[in-house]
Amino acid sequence: MLLSNPQRVLVLALIFRIIIIVFLDDIRWSIHARIQKHLDQYPFISPKAAQVGTANATFLMLARNSEIEDVLHTLRQIETSFNHRFHYPYVFLNDVQFTPEFIARTTSAISSSASYGVVPTEHWNHPPEIDEERLQRGMKELADKGVDYGGSLPYRNMCRFNSGFFYRHELLQNYRYYWRIEPEVDFFCQIHDDPFQFMQDNNKIYGFTITLYEFEATIPTLWQATKEFTQLYPELLAESNALDFLSDDKGATYNLCHFWSNFEIADMNFWRSDTYRKFFDFLDAKGGFYYERWGDAPVHSIAAALFAPKEQLHFFNEIGYRHGTLQHCPQGEVFTKGQCQCSRRRNFDYDGYSCKPRYDRLFEQH
Ligand SMILES: Nc1nc2c(ncn2[C@@H]2O[C@H](COP(=O)(O)OP(=O)(O)OP(=O)(O)O)[C@@H](O)[C@H]2O)c(=O)[nH]1
Ligand SMILES: *[C@@H]1O[C@H](CO)[C@@H](O)[C@H](O)[C@H]1NC(C)=O
Ligand SMILES: [Mg+2]
């Protein structure tokens, strides 16, 4: 024996310690690797995002409690394609209180924070000036024609709210840009560049992905009301406006083209402007949101096309998007860069019912 008893104990203790350190380190590394793998699989919970969006912006969804499954579908789509990298907040609005279940499940589905609000009744229900009898007649007429939601009062409330009130909600006061999303929509591509930042950097006020014709039966007098308004306030028309997108005869008649508003990335300061406030109040006083069934899509589109220069509108080609049966699927390099999952053959851009050719022509003249 070279070592005495106490020395042997010391050496053994040292060896033991080395083993423990190496072993523990091993365990530490393996735990670390497992966490990393977990984070890679579920980028939503990654604490160190490569990028974080810094624009003054939020997602906005109006939804009913009963739509929870379709809402979750949309949230997974938007998180996977974009927001797990940018972490923009969400605002959820409803005409009644959201249930604890709706709040818990949506909060769990997102990588950022959310706030939940109720729409004030005076922003939702029809104003007292509306003639009850005429309203009932209007609803019956449209329902008899078989028009979608023709006989629905809640749908009319929703369209009027989305036209003239959402941007006044207290939960939206801290934001300038919003991205409107709806239950049960798809986002097909990886959105690498921040669309909000793009809006801000390029002074855009309205962005869209799909444009099409409106059902004339829902807006028989909307264009007449618009013409009355612009004759009253000709100075509000933007100099290089997009009238040719809305009309094929210099404004005499409306060609029914509009941006599909279930997707919108837009600047609320445009809706908050005196010009738009005047326009909305003028339309609202006509009662067409109720006696007819004016949609927020044609109302927003007409305003954006007439009261802003056409350079402030934007087609978001890189955002592959589906709502219902219509979808925009990027073509060519944009499809590849975005790793898009849509079928390139299913693309509405140049379908017979699309207004995209008219939009393109706005920027081709001279
Ligand atoms: N809270 C609430 N949300 C509503 C109501 N009606 C519509 N919405 C929401 O408003 C948006 C548009 O309504 P939809 O019923 O999808 O109407 P649409 O997109 O024109 O028609 P679809 O093709 O059927 O989807 C969706 O986000 C709905 O969740 C309502 O009465 N209450
Ligand atoms: C964001 O925009 C809103 C509306 O324009 C504005 O009131 C608010 O001050 C802005 N916030 C920041 C941080 O710029
Ligand atoms: Mg919808």
Could you state, in chain order, the average pLDDT of each consecutive group of 10 residues for the chain (366 residues)? 65 60 50 44 45 94 98 98 98 98 98 98 98 98 98 98 98 98 98 98 98 98 98 98 98 98 98 98 98 98 99 98 98 98 98 98 86
Closest ligand, as measured to the CA of 293: 1
Burial 152-177 (b: 16+ CB within 10 A, else e): beeebbbbbbbbbbbbebebbeebbb
Q: Which amino acid type is present at position 61?
A: M
In the chain, domain spans: 202-366
Catalytic residues: 264
CATH code linked to domain 202-366: 3.90.550.10
Residues lining ion ligand 3 (Cβ < 5 A) are 182
pLDDT value at position 15? 61
pLDDT value at position 38? 44
- Does residue 56's CB lie within 6 angstroms of at least one atom of ligand 2? yes
pLDDT value at position 23? 54
- Does residue 317's CB lie within 6 angstroms of at least one atom of ligand 2? no
Pairing of strands 211-213, 257-259: antiparallel
Beta-bridge partners for 322: 186, 327
pLDDT value at position 16? 56
- Does residue 214's CB lie within 6 angstroms of at least one atom of ligand 1? no
Is the pTM higher than 0.85? The answer reads yes
Mutate to test the pocket of ligand 2, among 175, 177, 196, 268 (most ligand atoms within 8 A of CB): 175
Please state the atom number of ligand 2 nearest to the C-alpha of residue 269.
Answer: 5
- Does residue 190's CB lie within 6 angstroms of at least one atom of ligand 2? no
Pairing of strands 185-187, 321-323: antiparallel
Mutate to test the pocket of ligand 1, among 69, 78, 158 (most ligand atoms within 8 A of CB): 158
Please state the atom number of ligand 1 nearest to the C-alpha of residue 182.
Answer: 27
SS3 of the chain:
CCCCHHHHHHHHHHHHHHHHHHHHHHHHHHHHHHHHHHHHHCHHHCCCCCCCCCCCEEEEEECCHHHHHHHHHHHHHHHHHHHHHHCCCEEEEECCCCCHHHHHHHHHHCCCCEEEEECCHHHHCCCCCCCHHHHHHHHHHHHHCCCCCCCCHHHHHHHHHHHHCHHHCHHHCCCCEEEECCCCEEECCCCCCCHHHHHHHCCCCEEECCEEECCHHHCCCHHHHHHHHHHHCHHHCCCCCCHHHHCCCCCCCCCCEEECCCCEEEEHHHHCCHHHHHHHHHHHHHCHHHHCCCCHHHHHHHHHHHHCCHHHEEECCCCCEEECCEEECCCHHHHHHCCCCCCCCCCCCCCCCECHHHHHHHCCCC
* Rounded distance between C-alpha atoms, residue 277 and residue 272, angstroms: 7
- Does residue 176's CB lie within 6 angstroms of at least one atom of ligand 2? yes
Determine the straight-line distance between the first and last CA of the chain, rounded to whole angstroms. Answer: 101
Nearest CA to ligand 1 atom 8: 63
Who contacts 308 (Cβ-Cβ below 8 Å, separation ≥6)? 205, 206, 238, 241, 270
* Rounded distance between C-alpha atoms, residue 243 and residue 249, angstroms: 9
Closest ligand, as measured to the CA of 268: 2
What spacing in Å lies between the alpha carbon of 174 and ligand 2's midpoint? 5
